[in-house]
Structure 1
């Protein structure tokens, strides 16, 4: 019995699981770096996101050209946000199961994280407002851009837009929990800010984006002194 895709390549000339074709064209027209010439791009997966194997020529500092190959995982770009309440010295995070860390040695795969998600065609600001409402049940207004970072530049193309926004620990929460159809089950967790920082040192918070935003908050936000005294 012949395979239905015998006469084509998924994501190239046959629609993949998301109806996409031409995925092998990404990167072929890159000319921004005169020391890099892309020779070939292969699509090697039919998953929700795209894995590519790219062959390119790279000219080193000595002027000699060499052929190299890299695999890149393209899941789009994303955004994340730290919600903070200066008056109560609290931050709001989410706890959810992450299979990749579970299979890589984490005790139970349950990570404490800042709200985050893919842009999915929205602006970073609109995307993070959507995600924080879906995941934590909080509606935020103005958000403060913090930085834009590549989290795993050796293999993942994704850049993440980091934001922060005030939140009231006394505000009612409605909804949240994530998108059930996508298997998300997210618990909103309000933490004392100093406790959250200690959890980085103890290894209880291991998510990179969350660590970055908590440390940014320690350096840049006007936290009042613990116990209600004046902020130094």
Structure 2
């Protein structure tokens, strides 16, 4: 964890869980606006940084998304636990560009030469350290080298979806698409006229 802010002094870090990823309890002194110091503690879930990408086709006016089971959504009221998402994955010590190309090929079967970075975002800064790097890339049918679906060794059971862009936007409105990163990418595509509505 970064400790270069002069208003923050981390005094203790305790590992609460180190099973799937790492959950730390961090105790720190924080200097308030009036100059006084206050001791606080927070839990921070560290899973590393990630990348996500929207695959789109101007010719077909479609996007490629995936559907997979997400346990946290299931325990929070998603009746099937299935979530429609943009391709994404952890960097695993690779650069964001290398990581997202790898993830797209594993998950969708499309091999990309070019990707375009559009922005970075913290998705849940109150509890998760992860920063996600956002990308877009245009695809053609000729870029498909496999069926995708993810790695069985990673317990990924991914369904690949090719959806008309207008339908994907409507799926946001109806709540069929509820994933934050996917909504951000679809809105970016709409605002920047990557595809027609």
Cα 1:130–1:170 shift into 2, 3 Å: closer
Aligned to 2:75: 103
Aligned to 1:41: 13
Mapped pair 1:68 → 2:40: yes
Contact 1:133–1:175, Cα closer than 8 Å, also in 2: no
Separation (CA, whole Å) in 1 of partners of 2:131 and 2:54: 17
TM normalised by structure 1 equals 0.82
Separation (CA, whole Å) in 1 of partners of 2:66 and 2:27: 40
Structure 1 gaps, min length 5:
1-25, 227-232
Name which structure has the greater RCO, CA cutoff 8 Å, separation 6+.
2
Separation (CA, whole Å) in 1 of partners of 2:30 and 2:67: 43
Contact 2:112–2:143, Cα closer than 8 Å, also in 1: no
Structure 2 gaps, min length 5:
none
List structure 1 runs of 4+ shifted beyond 3 angstroms: 169-173
Separation (CA, whole Å) in 2 of partners of 1:195 and 1:170: 23
| Aligned residue among 80, 95, 98 for 1:123 | 95
Higher Rg of the two aligned structures? 1
Q: Render the CA deviation track for 1:135-192: whole Å, top value 9, x for unaligned.
A: 0011011100010100000010000000000012575451310110111000110000
TM normalised by structure 2 equals 0.96
Separation (CA, whole Å) in 2 of partners of 1:89 and 1:139: 19
Shift of 1:222: 4.0
| Aligned residue among 185, 192, 197 for 1:220 | 192
Contact 2:111–2:144, Cα closer than 8 Å, also in 1: no
- When the two chains are superposed, the root-mean-square deviation of aligned CA atoms in Å is 1.4
Contact 1:88–1:169, Cα closer than 8 Å, also in 2: no
Aligned to 1:198: 170
